[in-house]
Structure 1
Amino acid sequence: MKESKPYEYRTLLSAEEYKPESTLNAFSNCRLIQRQFEKAATAGFNYSLRKHTLSVLDVFETYFSSVFELGQRNCMRMLLALHDIGKPMAIQRGDKTLQHRFTIRIINRLPDRWVGSSQRNWLCTLLADDYLGDFLKGNYTEEQCLLRLRAAHAQSGADKAVFFNHFSVYYQCDVDGYTLLGDLTCALDCLFQWNEALSAPVFDNTVRLFRFSPPIQSKFELIRKEFLNHA
């Protein structure tokens, strides 16, 4: 893997005139990652992982970036840039469940000058599984979701509320990134309360998150309360 110039990615991420493309450009000298970006994002749809990733980063910059201080903001940009990086390999293997395993493998191959040890641990912890999404879609029970969230939180070493918020923002950016591309809209829009005038999810300025549709919002509040209020 060819390394980037020292700290090049930090400069790109922190630039005053930051654009989502800057995050992907930070990996311009990493052939492995660039190859993945040019592959299909989802089997059966004709757009690249790069296009989906830019869409996800656009959602973050539009709705969420101002909530984070610069260091956390750059961590979130890195997280979202790499969140699906293992998906093309999983698609090629014919088993999408391998996505997270390949993602972690690629992140662990990044040089330390790009990703420090604490940031690497944080990235791998949040990207190891789709804990929240699988629960909201009915693939995990409440108990299964809480078990995985608590284990991930313990590994992250982060504050509970911060950890859950970061994971929630990541999940919502990823989901809305698909709707911006016009694919899977019918399947994904039902997750959110929808603002027809804006063709976008309803954003709740009080909690700084999108509002899920009523049944999904109830599940989200349940898991949030159980996770935050119990050891």
Structure 2
Amino acid sequence: MMKDKLNSPFAVISKIESVNTSFKVLYDKQIRHYKLREHTYLVLSEFFKYFNAFPLPLEEKKGRAWFKYLLALHDIGKAISSGGDIIEDKYIYTKELVNQIASSLNIENELELILALLEFDSLGEYFRGKANLNSTVRTIEQQSSKAKVNLEDYFRLKFIYYQCDLASYTEDAGGIKFLEYLFEYDGGNKKINSNEQRIGFSKKYEKSLGQLERKLGLQ
């Protein structure tokens, strides 16, 4: 597998902007208290900091570049959606923009998977208590089927994406102090669970994660 040249958050965002200059305007949009470019940079930074050393599911077949583009594009629809925070609008516009740029980024073969990962905030809804265990499992199963990948690979990819996004809303990531209570820390950095190749969560969220993985048949 050829190693991609996207070796930093800046490189990923710059590549997108170089193949479609209209994305520069989108990344410079103000979304509530931050510019989209800043949030995207932090999400990618958390991926490079905590996950770059670990293999990705499906990496042997698909490489890693497509997943970095997914992270860089995950909120792009907010730049043109109503008020920046209507979820339905966000996904509609994100889908349009990802479809628009897919051929230029050479991610057409991963398009179904990318859109299936972006479509629902199933893990966010679950961990915030807005969706119960059974409905979350159904959504994940339906989306893995839509993506045409097995359940474990889909869940692991979804969970990495979720962790990078969530972890960006912390002071140690370069953002505003906000979601630190979700994580375990060690020396000022989020603690890594090396055995499971993920960030460590606080006890409450570790328990919820365990329940979800068992219901999915992944433990």
Say yes or no: TM over 0.5.
yes
1:33 corresponds in structure 2 to 23
Q: Secondary structure at the match of 1:86?
A: helix
Cα distance in 1, alignment partners of residues 71 and 97 from structure 2: 14
For these two proteins, the number of residue pairs brought into alignment is 211
Give the conservation status (yes or no) of the 8 Å contact 1:192–1:212: yes
CA distance, structure 1, for counterparts of residue 164 and residue 71 of structure 2: 8
Provide the residue aligned with 1:5 in structure 2: none
Q: In 2, Cα distance between the equivalents of 1:146 and 1:59?
A: 26
Partners of 2:166 and 2:82 in 1: CA distance: 19
Partners in 2 of 1:58 and 1:141 — Cα distance?
Answer: 31
Q: Aligned-pair distance for 1:159?
A: 2.5
Distance apart, 1:92 and its partner CA: 3.0
* Residue from 168, 174, 178 that aligns with 2:159: 168
Is 1:22 aligned with 2:11? Answer: yes
Distance verdict in 2 for CA 1:93–1:52, change over 3 Å: closer
Q: Is the 8 A contact 2:78 2:85 kept in 1?
A: no
CA–CA separation in structure 2 for the residues paired with 1:169 and 1:125: 14
Aligned to 1:8: none
Stretches (4+) displaced over 4 A = none
Give per-residue Cα distances to partners, 1:174-201, cap 9 Å, x unaligned: 1111212332x33x11221233x22x32
Q: Tell me the equivalent position of 2:199.
A: 210
Does 2:121 align with 1:130?
yes
Structure 1 residues without counterparts, runs of 5 or longer: 1-10
C-alpha contact 1:194 1:202 (8 A) present in aligned 2: yes
- Structure 2 partner of 1:78: 69
Cα deviation, residue 117, structure 1? 3.2
**What's the TM-score once normalised by structure 2's chain length?**
0.87
Residue pair 1:65, 1:73 contacting (<8 A) in 2 also: no
What's 1:182 paired with? 175
> 2: distance between equivalents of 1:136 and 1:32?
35
1:131–1:145: 8 Å Cα contact kept in structure 2? Answer: yes
Whether the 8 Å CA contact 1:60–1:173 is kept in 2: the answer is yes
Change (3 A) 1:98 1:145: same
Matches within 5 A, 1:1-231: 14-15=4-5, 18-29=7-18, 30-40=20-30, 42-43=31-32, 45=33, 47-68=34-55, 69=59, 71-92=62-83, 95-179=86-170, 180-183=173-176, 185-186=177-178, 188-195=179-186, 197-198=187-188, 200-228=189-217
Segment of structure 1 superposing worse, 212-221 or 27-36: 27-36
Asked if 2 retains the 8 angstrom alpha-carbon contact of 1:84 and 1:99, the reply is yes
Structure 2 counterpart SS, 1:182: coil
- 1:4 maps to none
Q: Residue type matched to 2:26 in 1?
A: Q
**Corresponding letter in the other structure for 2:35:** S
The offset of 1:94, in angstroms, is 6.2
SS of residue in 1 equivalent to 2:129: coil
Residues 105-152 of structure 1 deviation map (CA, whole Å, 9 limit, x = unaligned): 211222524244331111100000111111001111112211111110
RMSD between aligned alpha carbons?
Answer: 2.3
